[in-house]
């Protein structure tokens, strides 16, 4: 980042009333500043917890870009392009502190590049404290109502439910509660502050499990399906006053055992566990054991109460989900980026920041050429963080399968006899003839690299030197350095951050 651009951004952040020390602004900008060629800006901001980002606009897009826009004059003074009136532009100049209406020709004669500020939504920005307090009050009231309703149902069940069905009823309420929490979390209903029961360490993360593609079945999320299931059991127990009404739904309860195995398989596959999902597994196991102890499996023809209970459960769940979707949609467009997302500029994309692409011999490639995402990792075999990324690469392919192509290039000292350069080539040769699955397994288990060679063949040496020279041309901040579809990602990115970013991009595009 050059000096002029840093001063420019510092002034913009000051104008936006960002209360951060100048040193801290410089540090954050050096870490986070990039010019994306993706259309998924707001979610990227949320991923990294940053509020504002400056994106340069090519000249041919200026007229279609949302206003206000920002620019530097040739004298390095910044000004706002506030709006377009007929063929003229209303601009605010910082050095004169006043508005001027100028023609397009005048504008082009003084400009030094156009930019727009992209602002993340309210979840990642600073929310007005009064709004924050109101939100907390509303959430506290809703949580209080949910907890009160939960215990009220349990107490009332002792007086209303058949004695034989009380345990079954209480267990179903627990299952419904866990499923409801997951559904509300899936739709960003809760804003967690401080301790979060769903995120404990690196191994427990409900959000990762419920947002994975494995959590959808025929277009419905597993939390939606489980809510319908438990609500159906509850309503059926309340409506069906016959003794041992559980026997009418026995086949359904036993079939739910399949979801136990599927849920455990999903979490083992992602190598991340969801406390709420495990709680639902425990509830389902209890229901099956309770039914097995009490009743033999019999296919009783459902009575009208059972069908009526199912209809009520589906109707109530549909209404709740529709309400959540409407609430989520209104929140999504409540920030000032709505004009940007609705702008024709999106159809062009931002390609001026693309770092380009170069192909080399002796590069490690995993994945297909037709993949949606091309990821380049510049690495050095003696870099511990580089090795950590490669060891965990199988997790990335496990989740995104054929959506990614991963290229590993060398970055480091270019002397032909340098140890790390020789180690990279030996790694390449070891993997050259392997299948994708074998490559991922190799990287996971064979990165304790040792070499006895003292020099490289001339062509190999030249190829690795060109790879390293390209990394220097891109001004990368050491290794590891990751480039996603032509966009240089911040230096702290690893597999976890990359997975989260891809997940958000895919969910947004769908």
State which of 163-177, 205-219, 428-442 shows the largest mean pLDDT.
Answer: 428-442
In the chain, which residues fall in CATH 1.20.1440.130?
A: 161-327
- Top pLDDT among 481 and 118 is at 481
Question: pLDDT tens across 45-58, in order?
Answer: 444 444 455 556 65
State the sign of the Cα–Cα–Cα–Cα dihedral 99, 101, 104, 108: negative
In the chain, which residues fall in CATH 3.90.70.10?
A: 1-119
Cβ contact 226:283 at 8 Å: no
In the chain, which residues fall in CATH 3.40.30.10?
A: 350-509
How far apart, in whole angstroms, are the C-alpha atoms of residue 459 and residue 463?
6
DSSP string, 38-106: -S-HHHHHHHHT--EEEEEE-GGGGGGS-SSEEEEETTS-EEEEEEEETTEEEEEETTTTEEEEEEHHH
Residue 407 bridge partners (DSSP): 365, 376
The DSSP code for 231 is H
CATH architecture of 161-327: Up-down Bundle (1.20)
Q: With b meaning 16 or more CB within 10 Å and e meaning fewer, what string describes 367-389?
A: beeeeebbbbbbbbbebeebbeb
Residue 311, pLDDT score: 64
Write out 423-435 in H/E/C secondary structure: HHHHHHHHHCCCC
Residue 510 pLDDT > 80: no
CATH code of the domain occupying 350-509 = 3.40.30.10
Residue 190, pLDDT score: 56
> How many C-beta neighbours within 10 Å does residue 50 have?
18
Question: pLDDT tens across 162-201, in order?
Answer: 666 777 778 888 888 888 888 777 765 654 444 456 766 6
Cβ contact 360:466 at 8 Å: yes
Would you place residue 159 in the very low, low, confident or very high pLDDT band (cuts 50, 70, 90)? confident
How far apart, in whole angstroms, are the C-alpha atoms of residue 342 and residue 367?
34
Helices (H), 432-494: 436-445, 458-473
Residue 409, pLDDT score: 94
Residue 327, pLDDT score: 47
Q: Output the six-digit token pair for 33.
A: 């500043």
How far apart, in whole angstroms, are the C-alpha atoms of residue 84 and residue 91?
9
Would you place residue 502 in the very low, low, confident or very high pLDDT band (cuts 50, 70, 90)? confident
Region 12-21: what's the mean pLDDT? 40
How far apart, in whole angstroms, are the C-alpha atoms of residue 463 and residue 466?
5
- Fold assignment, 1-119: Cathepsin B; Chain A (3.90.70)
Q: Exposed, middle or buried, 225 (CB in 10 Å: 0-12/13-18/19+)? A: middle
- Top pLDDT among 399 and 130 is at 399
State the sign of the Cα–Cα–Cα–Cα dihedral 367, 48, 411, 484: positive
Residue 409 bridge partners (DSSP): 378
């Amino acid at each position: 980042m050059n000096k002029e651009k840093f001063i420019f951004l510092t002034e913009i952040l000051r104008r936006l009333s960002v209360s951060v020390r100048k040193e801290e602004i410089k540090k954050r900008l050096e870490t986070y500043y990039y010019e994306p060629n993706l259309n998924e800006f707001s979610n990227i901001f949320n991923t990294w917890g940053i509020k504002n980002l400056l994106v340069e606009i090519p000249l041919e897009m200026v007229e279609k870009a949302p206003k206000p826009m920002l620019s530097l004059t040739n004298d390095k003074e910044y000004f706002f392009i506030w709006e377009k009136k007929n063929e003229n532009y209303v601009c605010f100049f910082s050095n004169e502190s006043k508005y001027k209406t100028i023609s397009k020709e005048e504008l082009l004669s003084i400009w030094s590049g156009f930019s727009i500020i992209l602002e993340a939504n309210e979840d990642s920005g600073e929310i007005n404290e009064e709004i924050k307090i109101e939100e907390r009050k509303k959430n506290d009231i809703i949580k209080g109502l949910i907890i009160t309703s939960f215990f009220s149902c349990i107490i009332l069940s002792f007086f209303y439910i058949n004695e034989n069905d009380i345990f079954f009823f209480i267990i179903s309420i627990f299952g419904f509660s866990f499923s409801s929490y997951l559904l509300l979390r899936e739709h960003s209903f809760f804003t967690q502050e401080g301790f979060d029961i769903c995120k404990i360490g690196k191994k427990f993360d409900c959000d990762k499990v419920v947002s994975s593609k494995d959590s959808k079945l025929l277009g419905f999320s597993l939390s939606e399906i489980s809510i319908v299931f438990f609500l159906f059991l509850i309503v059926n127990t309340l409506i069906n006053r016959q003794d041992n009404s559980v026997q009418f739904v026995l086949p359904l309860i036993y079939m739910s055992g399949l979801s136990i195995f599927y849920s455990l398989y999903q979490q083992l596959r992602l190598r991340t566990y969801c406390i709420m999902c495990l709680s639902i597994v425990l509830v389902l196991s209890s229901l099956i054991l309770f039914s097995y102890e009490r009743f033999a499996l019999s296919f009783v023809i459902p009575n009208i109460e059972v069908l009526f209970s199912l209809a009520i459960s589906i109707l109530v769940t549909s209404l709740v989900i529709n309400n959540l979707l409407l609430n989520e949609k209104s929140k999504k467009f409540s920030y000032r980026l709505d004009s940007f997302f609705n702008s024709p500029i999106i159809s062009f994309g931002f390609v001026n920041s693309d770092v380009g692409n170069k192909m080399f011999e002796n590069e490690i490639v995993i994945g297909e050429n037709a993949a949606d995402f091309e990821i380049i990792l510049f690495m050095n075999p003696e870099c511990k963080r580089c090795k950590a990324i490669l060891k965990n690469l199988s997790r990335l392919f496990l989740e995104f399968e054929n959506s990614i192509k991963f290229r590993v290039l060398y970055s480091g000292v270019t002397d032909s006899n340098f140890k790390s350069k020789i180690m990279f080539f030996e790694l390449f040769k070891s993997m050259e003839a392997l299948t994708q699955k074998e490559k991922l397994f190799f990287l996971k288990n064979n990165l304790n690299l040792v070499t006895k060679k003292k020099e490289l063949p001339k062509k190999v040496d030249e190829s690795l030197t060109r790879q390293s020279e390209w990394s220097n041309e891109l001004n990368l901040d050491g290794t590891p350095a990751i480039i996603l579809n032509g966009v240089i990602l911040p230096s702290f990115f690893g597999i976890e951050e990359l997975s989260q970013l891809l997940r958000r991009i895919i969910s947004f595009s769908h």
